[in-house]
Amino acid sequence: MKERKVKIAVLVSGGGTNLQALLDAEKSGKLKSGKISLVVSNNENAYALTRAKNAEVPTRVITKAGFGDGFETELIKAIKGAGAELIVLAGFMSILSERFTKEFENRIINVHPALIPSFCGKGYYGLKVHEAALSYGVKVTGATVHFVNEIPDGGKIIMQKAVEVLPSDTPESLQKRVMREAEWQILPAACELVCEKILTGEKL
């Protein structure tokens, strides 16, 4: 009998290196309890869409410009239509409303490029997070995978990994190291953990 897998919808906005890490993990068997079944982008030019197409994963573009107030309703429709049970925010640059997060309680995870509760919350995304870490002068930063609730970056932490900050770092070099050493490792690992728990019915 074919083993059951949790269908995953990945929400993206940009380059999609975290999506790539998930696709690679599925291919290599590191992500074995879940199947990436849909990739949704809120940006039609996101390179993440090309990565999804290369892996033969169905894609949708749902933009705020295109759907206005119906943006989240359309997102929910697409996710439910794909039968997804887990939503992964992989560089998704839009804050979701409480209505959305309540609809999928304990079923949305996000990767954030810092050690929460540092450098997180509204306004802290992408390169801005690393600029803030460097200007504060921390010697260690990292990445966090957490559940998503109505508070930006405020849901329960699932996994974290620390990364050293070097004296020569620029925001760009730090971003790359955090991605390579932390995000691309813990996002697939956390995803597998959550999918396993969904399959076994274990408490999340």
Applying CB under 6 A, which of residues 23, 38, 91, 165 lies at the interface with ligand GAR? 91
Interaction residues for ligand GAR, span 29-68 (CB under 6 A): 48
Size of site (CB under 6 A) for ligand GAR: 16
Per-residue x/- mask for ligand GAR, residues 162 to 201, rule CB under 6 A?
-----------------x---x------------------
In angstroms, the CA 3 to CA 100 distance is 30
* Min dist. Cβ of residue 3 to ligand GAR (A): 28
Q: Any contact of residue 108 with ligand GAR (CB under 6 A)?
A: no
In the complex, minimum distance from the CB of residue 14 to ligand GAR, in angstroms, rounded to a whole number:
4
Q: What minimum distance in Å lies between the beta carbon of 161 and ligand GAR?
A: 12
Which residues contact ligand GAR (rule: CB under 6 A)? Answer: 14-18, 48, 90-91, 111-113, 125-126, 129, 179, 183
